[in-house]
A and B are shown apart, each in its own frame.
Chain A
Amino acid sequence: MIDTLFPTGWAHYLAGGLLIGTGVSLLYLALGAIGGMSTVFSSTWSWLLRGPWWQQARFVESRQWRLWLAWGPSAGLHTQVPVWRLGLGGLLVGFGARLSNGCTSGHGICGLASLQAPALAAVLTFMATGILTAHLVARLAGGLA
């Protein structure tokens, strides 16, 4: 059963999740800040773009710590996923996460931890469309496994 659910083992998943949770908790207890990872992609634009939408207080006031926070994960990412999937997927990820005001960390970790019903609805929605898309692409492209 465990082998079927977690063919590569489970301990590293739990350990990684607890590390992420420790980072999120530290940020909140020390600074009171709620750190999802997608807002930085809007707030950082506010340094360059002058329009009133970009200059909203929620971007301008948090853009500094969000950038410092984003410095942490820059550890490196390796993948064999084709470039078109990364680029097109990234575009939808950026647009969708910002329209929804949350991603896997914003809605999934911070939102659920804030006991928010909208975050739960968002998580169930992106899980559903993510699972559908991944299955569909795997069937069409023959999978990447």
Chain B
Amino acid sequence: MNARQILVTVASGLLFGLGLAVSTMLSPEVVLSFLEFRDAGLLLVMGGAMGLALLAYQWGPRRLRQPWLGGAFDRRQARLDRDTLLGAALFGVGWGLSGVCPGPAIASLGAGNIEGWPALLGIVVGAWLQGVWAARRAR
């Protein structure tokens, strides 16, 4: 990656993180208030983000020959299979238990924020276990 690509990637991540902060999605309590039907705000966050991304994902490949900084437009891989659904079901149980998902968990890396570290550690270990399991299954 060249310096310009790194700069834009970091800027994207900052916007993402700022959005999580502004929408208070960094607070597991707020996420849980959605899952417990006390506040519908999460739908507005997902809807707003998805709506803009929809425009970019549809407009980009149609109107631009290639991304502004070079390369090619990625296509997201997704299959409707057992892993996708079983994984989503397990993810949901963990989400309902902790109120944390991967983006906000990364935010707990921020200086002096040990309150979120148990969740972050859990995700790091959970992702590792999934890889170990998938590798064993593939053999």
Contacts and interface: CB of A to CB of B under 8 A. Distances in A.
B127 A16 contact: no
A60 interface: no
A90 B108 CA distance: 12
A91 B123 contact: yes
B23 A20 contact: yes
Interface string B75-110: 111111101111111111111111111111111111
A14 B78 contact: no
B25 to A, nearest CB: 7
A contacts with B: majority SS:
helix
Interface string B45-69: 1111111111111001000101111
Contact of A8 (B28, B41, B57, B79): B41
B115 A73 contact: no
A93 B105 contact: yes
A15 B5 CA distance: 26
Contact of B126 (A8, A31, A72, A92): A92
B12 A87 contact: no
B56 A92 contact: no
Given A92-B93, A100-B83, A118-B84, A75 B32 contact: no
A31 B101 contact: no
A37 B106 contact: yes
A56 B112 CA distance: 34
B100 to A, nearest CB: 6
Interface in B103-125: 103-113, 115-116, 118-125
Interface residues of B, number: 117
Given A8-B39, A76-B26, A98 B127 contact: yes
A133 B71 contact: no
Contacts of A15: 19, 22-23, 48
Contact of A28 (B18, B21, B60, B96): B60
Given A65-B9, A75-B110, A86 B100 contact: yes
Contacts of B36: 131, 134-135, 138, 143, 145
A86 B60 contact: no
B69 A31 contact: yes
Contact of A21 (B21, B53, B100): B53
A129 B93 contact: yes
Given A6-B39, A101-B87, A68 B13 contact: yes
B91 to A, nearest CB: 3
